């Protein structure tokens, strides 16, 4: 009988991995964000105050939105992203499936509003989601400090985006320097990425001019020379028609990240032309390929390679 449950666990693992790979593929083609919410990022953006222990409760699995430190190991619905967790995942699934087992201890979570974040038990949550379990026992620590705008049903990602956008505008003064700018993101993490780009661009300009370039000058130069030029290519290629739920700023961030990911994957510098070839292998639409070719040509002219 144990072998039967192990076989079912094996099939469930394979199904979960297929779901994860499909989501990752769609995300790589510019679809919506699939990452879990990083609790550390949430706590950094908002003053959560102190947590109170609420004991062991049965919590809705569907309201477990993120993780503390392990959010990169899973994607949406806690689907596993790597093969190296197969053995542990299948072992946990077997224990859940076998009615004669002693079960598993409660997971540990932080509660913020009506959302939960896993401190310990990410694999158990992943298995529970795949098996269709509605509730899990959990040790619950609740953060009592209210978060502005956070209410039942409110998307935490939206709150994170607005907090990041506020910090971005406060730092860059872009509303004043370039009134009517069109930078709007639909996923967290993009605004800090842009701040890093501006800081790097300031360093590059200072080295070229052999004098310290004021930050505001770096902001306007980045916006005019880097951001707007890239967005123009995106718009001319018709990419926004392919991905109507994404913004030009989203695609700007995605393009930069894709190039960087390729460099990390191969452990060496990657030319934009090679990034275009990688896009071609994924059999993207002709319009998106035209964008990548145009972007590659522009980058070669701009950076001289």
The mean pLDDT value for 149-165 works out to: 72
The pLDDT assigned to 83 comes to 86
Q: What is the pLDDT of residues 269-281, one digit of tens each?
A: 755 445 434 543 4
Q: Which domains does the chain have, with CATH numbers?
A: 2-143 (3.90.1530.10), 156-303 (no CATH)
Q: Please tell me the pTM assigned to this model.
A: 0.61
Confidence of residue 242 (pLDDT cuts 50, 70, 90): low
Instruction: Please answer whether residues 111 and 140 qualify as being in contact, where contact means their C-beta atoms are separated by less than 8 angstroms.
Output: yes
Confidence of residue 173 (pLDDT cuts 50, 70, 90): very high
Confidence of residue 1 (pLDDT cuts 50, 70, 90): low
Instruction: Please answer whether residues 20 and 79 qualify as being in contact, where contact means their C-beta atoms are separated by less than 8 angstroms.
Output: yes
Q: What is the pLDDT of residues 66-96, one digit of tens each?
A: 899 876 788 888 999 888 899 999 999 999 9
Phi, psi of 75 (to 5 degrees): -115, -170
Report d(CA 216, CA 212) in Å as an integer. Answer: 12
Q: Does the pLDDT at position 241 exceed 50? A: yes
Instruction: Please answer whether residues 96 and 127 qualify as being in contact, where contact means their C-beta atoms are separated by less than 8 angstroms.
Output: yes
Report d(CA 119, CA 106) in Å as an integer. Answer: 11
Instruction: Please answer whether residues 118 and 107 qualify as being in contact, where contact means their C-beta atoms are separated by less than 8 angstroms.
Output: yes
Report d(CA 77, CA 93) in Å as an integer. Answer: 16
Report d(CA 19, CA 81) in Å as an integer. Answer: 10
């Amino acid at each position: 009988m144990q072998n039967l449950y192990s076989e079912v666990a094996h099939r469930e693992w394979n199904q979960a991995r297929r779901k994860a790979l499909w989501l990752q593929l769609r995300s790589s083609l510019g679809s919506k964000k699939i990452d879990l919410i990083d609790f550390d990022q949430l706590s950094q953006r908002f003053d959560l105050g102190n947590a109170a222990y609420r004991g062991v409760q049965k919590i809705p699995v569907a309201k477990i939105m993120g993780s503390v430190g392990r959010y990169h190991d899973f994607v949406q619905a806690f689907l596993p992203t790597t093969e190296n967790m197969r053995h542990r995942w299948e072992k946990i699934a077997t224990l859940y499936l076998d009615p004669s087992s002693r079960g598993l201890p409660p997971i540990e979570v932080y509660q913020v509003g009506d959302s939960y974040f896993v401190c310990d038990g990410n694999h158990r949550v992943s298995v529970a989601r795949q098996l269709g379990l509605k509730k899990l026992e959990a040790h619950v620590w609740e953060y009592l400090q209210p978060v502005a705008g956070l209410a039942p049903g409110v998307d935490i990602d939206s709150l994170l985006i607005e907090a990041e956008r506020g910090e971005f505008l406060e730092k860059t003064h872009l509303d004043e320097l370039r009134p009517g700018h069109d930078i709007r993101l639909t996923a967290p993490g993009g605004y800090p990425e842009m701040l890093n780009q501006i800081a790097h661009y300031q360093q590059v300009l200072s080295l070229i001019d052999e004098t310290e370039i004021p930050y505001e000058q770096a902001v306007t130069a980045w916006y005019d020379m880097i951001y707007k030029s890239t967005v123009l290519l995106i718009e001319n290629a018709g990419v926004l028609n392919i991905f109507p739920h994404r913004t030009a700023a989203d695609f700007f961030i995605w393009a930069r990240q894709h190039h960087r990911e390729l460099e990390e994957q191969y452990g060496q510098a990657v030319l934009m032309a090679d990034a275009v070839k990688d896009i071609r292998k994924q059999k993207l639409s002709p319009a998106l390929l035209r964008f990548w070719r145009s972007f590659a040509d522009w980058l070669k002219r701009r950076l001289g390679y």
